[in-house]
């Protein structure tokens, strides 16, 4: 259930073995085929125009965040074939190899880097071809952003020198550390979402897609999942499972469905009148990446947030292709190790996202069309990739149509705020490098008026933002781990015939954008199920 980053892959890989598969998706199938989804650069319109965004997004928000100025922060989740892989920034980042080794060391047998590497290689079609660590010929095209503005070129060089970090042409290769060009799940001006890559015209006839159908609960009989209840808005029906049910509804949807089905903390379920089928810590361990957008005026960044600039780009892409609309809006990326890092010596703890566009300030919480400075600018986002803060997802109601209560607990651990402040100072230091003297003409946001640590600490709660990478609500753990929801085979503990396969199972977040790891989880789930016959 759920045709998102992992669900599309599980369904396709199982159907390729001859199994009969029904893939249930709440969104409409036709949405994924629209130009605004397929054309990579259109994400800027998709996320900035509320009337457009609401067609593709569930519209979730966090509960008021106590340590982030009481803000209700968007939790953007795709509601269409491809899920969030159809509306994200397309940045393809595996994370650090130690992320997976740490999972294995914590009891997740079979999830070490060496275990999962063949799955990554099977998934991707890397532009440089196959190597010991990269794959070629897979369904997901992975390419470097082909065109960088002069400002982005200068930024990569300046940051590498200022931060004493190497240039790195492949952060998904042997080493993650360094500055370089972003890698995206796109090629030839086309987004490679999970649905585009795995559910194309050649999909097996035994794979049926049931779109515009919302799953309301997992049907449990005698301690076993035997199917799911769905509704299309007018009627409810039960789809029976011949063998297993796989939840791939994402970090929000998978946890919500388990809770609605009586699988979760017993006290919470009983309080809502839900019969308890399995007392498990569903919804806990919620955590997410955070960044702080910092915008600097830079004429050679070239792009302007004006209607005329977008129209010119769309016309150029339509007539001849090869324009900025054919690639992600991000151009440069870095992984660096801060002075106070508590990670091993070869593992960076700070990610830097960079794009040649101005950015809303101080945040983009409100569902309105935000105005941005119309001048060309570089936005650099120091990003917390190993948050210490943890939160929880809970049901607001036993009604499946009511959104759950999403509380990531942003900045609840003071170490996260301290880290982001240091990241902001590091970016300022790098932007003052001599290589950028004639590129950057001033700091637009947060602005030099916020000069010292105390100023930044007061302002940070208003400016910090989700990278839309929430994970962990159905945590994977060892077979005897009482704090786990699923075991290393992704089976829900105490329930037969039920697995979860998406970012919800991550015991700890990976060091980088999470879409590629979510797709990996789909590949691994299908492999585990196929191996067991």
Give the three-state DSSP class for 326. helix
The vertex-183 CA angle with 331 and 174, nearest 5°, equals: 125
What one-character DSSP code corresponds to residue 188? T
Structure tokens, 458:
């007061």
- Quick check: is 469 catalytic? yes
Rounded CA-CA distance 489/475 in Å is: 12
How many CB atoms within 10 Å of residue 319? 8
CA–CA separation, 196 and 208 (whole Å): 16
DSSP state of 396: S
Do residues 458 and 277 lie in contact, with contact meaning Cβ atoms separated by under 8 Å?
Answer: no
Residue with tokens 């800027």: 44
| DSSP codes of every residue in 64-130 | PBTTTTTB--EE--B-STTGGGGTS--B-----HHHHHHHHHTT-TT-SHHHHHHHHHHHEEETT--
**By C-alpha distance, which of 84, 492, 402, 463 is closest to 214?**
402
Both structure tokens of 67: 């340590």
DSSP classification of residue 411: T
Instruction: Considering only CA atoms, give the Rg of the chain.
Output: 22
Catalytic residue among 303, 353, 445, 469: 469
Residues marked as catalytic: 469
């Amino acid at each position: 259930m759920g045709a998102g980053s992992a669900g599309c892959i599980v369904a396709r890989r199982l159907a390729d073995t001859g199994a009969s598969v029904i893939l249930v998706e709440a969104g409409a199938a036709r949405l994924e085929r629209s130009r605004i989804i397929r054309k990579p650069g259109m994400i800027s319109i998709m996320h900035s125009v509320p009337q457009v965004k609401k067609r593709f997004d569930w519209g979730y928000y966090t509960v008021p965040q106590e340590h982030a100025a009481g803000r209700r922060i968007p939790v953007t989740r795709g509601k269409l074939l491809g899920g969030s892989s159809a509306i994200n920034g397309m940045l393809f980042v595996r994370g650090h190899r130690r992320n997976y080794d740490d999972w294995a060391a914590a009891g997740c047998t079979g999830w070490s880097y060496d275990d999962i590497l063949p799955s990554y290689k099977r998934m991707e079609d890397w532009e440089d071809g196959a190597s010991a660590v990269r794959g070629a010929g897979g369904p997901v095209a992975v390419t470097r952003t082909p065109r960088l503005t002069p400002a982005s070129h200068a930024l990569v060089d300046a940051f590498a020198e200022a931060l004493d970090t190497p240039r790195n042409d492949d952060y998904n290769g042997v080493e993650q550390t360094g500055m370089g060009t972003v890698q995206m799940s796109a090629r030839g001006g086309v987004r490679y979402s999970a649905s585009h890559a795995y559910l194309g015209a050649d999909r097996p006839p035994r794979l049926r897609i049931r779109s515009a159908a919302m799953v309301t609960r997992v049907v449990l009989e005698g301690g076993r999942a035997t199917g799911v209840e769905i509704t299309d808005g007018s009627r409810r029906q039960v789809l029976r499972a011949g063998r297993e049910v796989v939840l791939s509804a994402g970090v929000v949807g998978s946890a919500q469905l388990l809770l609605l089905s009586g699988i979760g903390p017993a006290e919470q379920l009983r309080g809502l009148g839900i019969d308890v089928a399995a007392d498990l810590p569903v919804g806990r361990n919620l955590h997410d990446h955070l960044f702080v957008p910092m915008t600097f005026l830079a004429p050679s960044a070239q792009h302007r947030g004006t209607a005329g600039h977008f129209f010119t780009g769309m016309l150029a892409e339509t007539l001849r292709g090869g324009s900025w609309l054919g690639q992600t809006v991000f151009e440069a990326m870095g992984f660096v190790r801060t002075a106070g890092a508590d990670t091993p010596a070869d593992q960076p703890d700070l990610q830097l996202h960079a794009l040649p566009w101005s950015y809303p300030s101080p945040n983009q919480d409100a569902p309105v069309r935000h105005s941005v400075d119309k001048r060309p600018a570089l936005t650099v986002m120091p990003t917390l990739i190993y948050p210490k803060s943890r939160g929880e997802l809970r049901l607001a109601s036993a009604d499946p149509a009511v959104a759950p209560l999403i509380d990531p607990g942003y900045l609840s651990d003071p170490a996260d705020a301290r880290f982001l402040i240091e990241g902001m100072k590091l970016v300022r230091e790098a932007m003052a490098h001599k290589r950028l003297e004639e590129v950057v003409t001033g700091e637009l946001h947060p602005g030099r008026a916020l000069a010292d640590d105390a100023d930044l600490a007061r302002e940070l709660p208003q400016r910090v933002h989700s990278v839309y990478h929430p994970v962990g609500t159905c945590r994977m753990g060892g077979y005897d781990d009482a704090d786990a929801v699923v075991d290393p085979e992704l089976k829900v503990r105490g329930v037969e015939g039920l697995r979860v396969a998406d970012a919800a199972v991550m015991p700890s977040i990976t060091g980088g954008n999470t879409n590629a790891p979510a797709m990996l989880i789909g590949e691994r789930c299908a492999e585990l199920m196929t191996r067991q016959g």
